[in-house]
Amino acid sequence: MTKKVFPMRTISPEGAPIPSHAKLAFKGKVFEVWQWEQKLFDGSVETFEQLKRQNTAQVIPVVGDNILIQLESQPNVSQSFLSLPGGRCLPDEKSLDAAKRELLEETGYTSNDWILCKEQNSIGRIDWTVYTYIARNCIFQKPQQLDSGEKINTRLVTFDEFLMLSEDQSFYERELIPMLLYARFDQKIKDEFRNLLFKKR
Amino acid sequence: MTKKVFPMRTISPEGAPIPSHAKLAFKGKVFEVWQWEQKLFDGSVETFEQLKRQNTAQVIPVVGDNILIQLESQPNVSQSFLSLPGGRCLPDEKSLDAAKRELLEETGYTSNDWILCKEQNSIGRIDWTVYTYIARNCIFQKPQQLDSGEKINTRLVTFDEFLMLSEDQSFYERELIPMLLYARFDQKIKDEFRNLLFKKR
């Protein structure tokens, strides 16, 4: 299914779903491996394999005239990197609830004004969606509460600095780069994105 | 390691490597699941998990003044999609050899003039690189030889049509979209990309 709310709000097409007769071949800490017998075009049969993982919720937090980004370290990654607040949805947790939870845990901020900006379905061999929310008018609530696998420093950047993250090799959120490029190169799209983030409504 | 040969030739930063003491928890048809005990920032330990799969070689084939793309169907995917020739590297097969093999199998074309255009390392939880080659001056050699899991029709598009695949929701090669957008929006980059594809050298 393809639904396009272009340019600044996009839902990408879904990949092939894991068929209902597939079997769980392995359940790891993060990934599940599913396999099934797939009939090919000539009638022969082959074992196909796809992955499944919990969806991800990601947040673009608006604080005053700025956007909050993170400088993040992880225990198995040698270099720190730039990221947005976010993380895995818990089992049965809706993506918006995960977005609110992760924003509060990682930054201490909350918002009462949320917009779903992007829904990126993986089209490869993995059943996984990344939801990107805009959290408008964020307010600082309490100190961040990190788990022992996280080190996160927050910083505020201007809208233009945010768009230029598309050039930054240490920016982790690669799936957002097309959106940032559109806004850099097309004034109309840039205005629309700026309004989505900052304009009173 | 970050190496940037921007804009039309790029090597993206690598994600965290799977540590040497990791153990293979599951070996599937396509994916391997690796796990290890990771020390966290507070000294506690948690099981971390990453995937590994064979790298992918992908080809932008130049045929005369045009670029060859594919309309492809797969037995488990309900809608056909637009793609480039390419596929998984075989064990121990170099990416350039895989690119040559896939181009010949899927399209029947060969080339004697290859350029590595892009090397995209996955930065998520998967050890996987997609190599994108330009195959200049392709010549038709013999009919395509598809395996029973493939249905592929080739078509030729102009350079501008190729760039506009960045708007096409059925274009499968998402990791190329930033490159296509740069070329659409920046005349200098567009000229550089056109020369890389078509200019005699």
Q: What is the pLDDT of residue A4?
A: 40
| Among B37, B38, B50, B148, the residue to mutate for chain A (most A Cβ within 10 A) | B148
Q: What is the mean pLDDT of residues A18-39?
A: 96
Percent of chain B whose predicted confidence (pLDDT) is above 70? 96
Q: Which of A38, A148, A184 sits opposite B44 (nearest CB)?
A: A148
* Residue A2 to residue B149, Cβ atoms within 8 A: no
Q: What is the pLDDT of residue B7?
A: 58
* Residue A41 to residue B150, Cβ atoms within 8 A: yes
Secondary structure percentages of chain B, helix, strand, coil, to 5: 25, 40, 40
Distance from CA of A48 to the nearest CA of B (A): 7
What's the whole-number average pLDDT of chain A? 92
Q: What is the pLDDT of residue A122?
A: 82
Coil, helix or strand at residue B87:
strand
Q: Which of B47, B75, B78 sits opposite A38 (nearest CB)?
A: B75
Q: What is the mean pLDDT of residues B176-196?
A: 93
Task: Answer whether residue A3 shows pLDDT above 60.
Answer: no
Pairing assessment for the beta strands A81-83 and A109-110 based on DSSP bridges: unpaired
Distances (CA, A) of A54 to A25, A29, A140, B112: 17, 11, 28, 45
Closest listed residue to residue A162, CA positions, set A49, A59, A19, A79: A59
| CA–CA distance, A91 with A14 (Å, rounded to integer) | 21
Pairing assessment for the beta strands A129-136 and A56-63 based on DSSP bridges: parallel
Of all residues in chain B, the one with the smallest CA distance to A166 is B178
**What is the pTM assigned to this prediction?**
0.92
For residue A178, name the pLDDT band (cuts at 50, 70, 90).
Answer: very high
* Residue B170 to residue A13, Cβ atoms within 8 A: yes
Which phi and psi angles does A79 have, rounded to 5°? -105, 145
- Taken in order of first residue, the domains within chain A and their CATH numbers are 2-6+52-198 (3.90.79.10)
Interface subset of B 131-160, CB within 8 angstroms of A: 148-151
| CA–CA distance, B78 with B24 (Å, rounded to integer) | 33
ipTM of the complex: 0.91
Closest listed residue to residue B58, CA positions, set B185, B164, B176: B176
Coil, helix or strand at residue A187:
helix
For residue B5, name the pLDDT band (cuts at 50, 70, 90).
Answer: very low
Contacts A–B by Cβ distance under 8 A: 118
**pLDDT tens digits along A94-146:** 999 999 999 999 999 999 999 999 998 887 789 999 999 999 999 999 999 99
* Residue A181 to residue B185, Cβ atoms within 8 A: yes
Burial B111-140 (b: 16+ CB within 10 A, else e): beeebbbbbbbbbbbbbbbbbbbbbbebee
**pLDDT tens digits along B68-102:** 999 999 998 888 999 999 999 999 999 999 999 99
Coil, helix or strand at residue B117:
strand
Q: What is the pLDDT of residue B151?
A: 95
* Residue A40 to residue B182, Cβ atoms within 8 A: no
Neighboring chain A residues of B76 at a CB cutoff of 8 Å? 16, 19, 38, 48
Closest listed residue to residue B60, CA positions, set B139, B114, B6, B121: B114
Q: Which of B33, B150, B177 sits opposite A178 (nearest CB)?
A: B177
